[in-house]
Amino acid sequence: MLIVQKYGGTSVADPDRIRAVAEHIVRSRHNGDDVVVVVSAMGKTTDDLVRLANDVSQSPALRELDMLLTAGERISIALLCMAIIDHGEPAVSFTGSQAGIVTDTTHGKAKIIEVKGDRIREAIAGGSVAVVAGFQGVSTTRDITTLGRGGSDTTAVALAAALHADACEIYTDVAGVYTADPRIEPAARRLARVSYEEMLEAAASGGKVLALRSVEFARRYRVPVHVRSSFTWEPGTWVREEEPMMEQAIISTVTHDVSEAKVTIEQVPDRPGIAAKLFRSLAEEAVNVDMIVQNVSAGGHTDISFTVPKDDLPRTLKVMETIVAETEASGFRHDTGIGRVSLIGAGMKSNPGVAAQMFEVLANEGVNIEMISTSSIRISCVVQADDVERAVRALHKAFALEEAS
């Protein structure tokens, strides 16, 4: 079997952890599997590098920031290879560029366009473990790029797809995908399996375990993903295709996210083309707009609210200044103190009343709902950030997620 194994930052945080990971890789080889490894930067290295850049420059040039951040993963690939080689197993490290991970030119959140992987295939064919730096690639204009925070997951699943691997194992500091973030809800239960669709909604609504793009790749190329612990090595959660005959849990997980801010443009004229203009301008600045709510118009004017990642807020506010001037809106405001809680579950499709129950639970907790959005298998509410953890616990309890379903 060919397995892609990805190790996150905490899994390789120090020399002991790197040696433990190397031992596991060697065990997998001794079991007869071919192994391609994707590794993240050690511990909080990426955060430290971001801070360093901000200490040096008020707005670090994006090309140079990518060059800096990719250094973190370069350190871990080299160290991990040394530790594997110490066990007598051949191992070769590759940067994203050497692995042939070709991206577009959007620094900081580049999209993978192609995975060449020739050198990886050669390394495996020669009996070596290939260790690839996560979260990075080389652009079509030959600059070094990064895939966005948490992007090593994406590297791993994209490689698994390109190499037709039998599975992609994502090793992390929790034993799988839980019914809620176990750090917030200690009674959270590990799910044995979750569908691509549910995982996509969970990742898109802030569930941190897997990066959104990695789930998109997994679904598109039908890569079975196994999320598991690099501390206990026990079997974790399989993310894969839904089995049509399976009884679906109404709710599989509660997610939360406090990384977004809410922006409201006030009193814009209610006429065709205004929303198009606003969101086109934001798209041109590569702002990822998420939830959008337009209020009922009064007197020919309306408010439009939307959420954006806090990282995109400075760019968003710049766009807003121009838009307000161009559209004769009365102004705009923003709130960085918001958060989002979401319920996700494939069984929602056939069970009405989930939204009503969610709103009742939040009301009983005295949590005010500021925005609502839904898909066929998700309901999200924007609330004040201070209420998020309480809301997660209340919802987890109300929907009886701690009990095995």
> Rule CB under 6 A: which residues touch ligand ASP?
8-9, 40-41, 46, 72, 134-135, 149-152
DSSP state of 272: T
Three-class DSSP category at 8: coil
Q: Does 9 bind ligand ADP (CB under 6 A)?
A: yes
43 interface partner picked from ligand ADP, ligand ASP, Mg ion, none, CB below 5 to 8 A per type: none
Minimum separation from the CB atom of position 6 to ligand ASP (A): 8
| CA distance linking residue 237 with residue 93, whole number of Å | 28
State in angstroms the smallest separation of the CB of 139 from ligand ASP. 17
> Binding pattern to ligand ADP, positions 80-119, x when CB under 6 A?
----------------------------------------
Q: Which is nearer to ligand ADP, 35 or 320 (CB)?
A: 35
* Cα-based distances in Å from 304 to 247, 312, 315, 328, 357: 40, 18, 18, 14, 27
Minimal distance, residue 10 CB to ligand ADP, in Å: 5
**Can you tell me which of 46, 76, 253, 380 binds ligand ADP, judged by CB under 6 A?**
253
> Which residue's Cβ lies closest to Mg ion?
150
Amino acid letter, 210: L
Q: Which option in ligand ASP, ligand ADP, Mg ion, none does residue 209 bind, with CB closer than 5 to 8 A by kind? A: ligand ADP
Give the nearest distance from C-beta 182 to ligand ADP in angstroms: 6
Contact 390, 365 (CB under 8 A): yes
Q: How far is the CB of 99 from Mg ion (least distance, A)?
A: 19
Q: Which is nearer to Mg ion, 148 or 150 (CB)?
A: 150
3-state secondary structure of 185: coil
Stretch of 56-64, 104-112, 115-123, 175-183 lying at the interface with ligand ADP (CB under 6 A): 175-183
Q: Considering the rule CB under 6 A, would residue 183 count as an interface residue with ligand ADP?
A: yes
Q: How far is the CB of 147 from ligand ASP (least distance, A)?
A: 8
CB of residue 344 vs ligand ASP: minimum separation in angstroms?
A: 22
The residue sitting closest to ligand ADP, measured at its beta carbon, is: 8
Q: What is the dihedral sign for C-alpha 82, 88, 90, 91?
A: negative
Tally Cβ neighbours within 10 Å of residue 255.
23
Does the protein bind ligand ADP through residue 208 (CB under 6 A)?
A: yes
Contact 107/42 with Cβ under 8 angstroms? no
10 binds ligand ADP (CB under 6 A): yes
Residue 21 engages ligand ADP in binding (rule: CB under 6 A): no
CA 43-85-32 angle, 5° bins: 100
Q: How many residues does the chain have?
A: 405
Q: Which of residues 41, 132, 177, 394 is near ligand ADP by CB under 6 A?
A: 177
For ligand ADP, the binding residue among 21, 77, 102, 209 (CB under 6 A) is 209
Q: How far apart are CA 256 and CA 207, in angstroms?
A: 6
- Cβ contact 105:66 at 8 Å: no
Taking the least distance from each CB to ligand ADP, the nearer of 89 and 153 is: 153
Q: Which of residues 113-142 bind ligand ADP (CB under 6 A)?
A: none
Minimum CB separation from ligand ASP for residue 149, in Å? 4
User: What is the token pair recorded at 111?
Assistant: 């999209």
- Three-class secondary structure of residue 94 per DSSP: strand
Q: What is the maximum span of the chain, computed from C-alpha positions, in angstroms?
A: 76
Is residue 150 within the footprint of ligand ADP (CB under 6 A)?
A: yes
The item of ligand ASP, Mg ion, ligand ADP, none sharing an interface with residue 135, based on CB under 5 to 8 Å by kind, is ligand ASP
Instruction: Quote the strand ranges of 89-189, DSSP E.
Output: 91-94, 101-103, 112-115, 129-133, 136-139, 144-146, 167-172
Tokens 């730096």 correspond to 133
Beta carbon nearer to ligand ASP, 8 or 176: 8
β-partners of residue 114 are 102
- 105 token code pair: 């030119």
CB of 328 to ligand ASP, least distance (A): 41
- The residue among 292, 363, 303 whose CA lies nearest residue 333 is 303
Tokens of 187: 């009674």
* Interatomic CA distance for residues 339 and 77, integer angstroms: 35
In the block, tokens 């009884």 appear at: 247
**Which tokens in the block code for residue 305?**
């609210």
Give me the least distance between CB of 343 and ligand ADP, in Å please: 12
Question: Which residues contact ligand ADP (rule: CB under 6 A)?
Answer: 8-11, 40, 150, 172-174, 177-178, 180-183, 207-209, 253
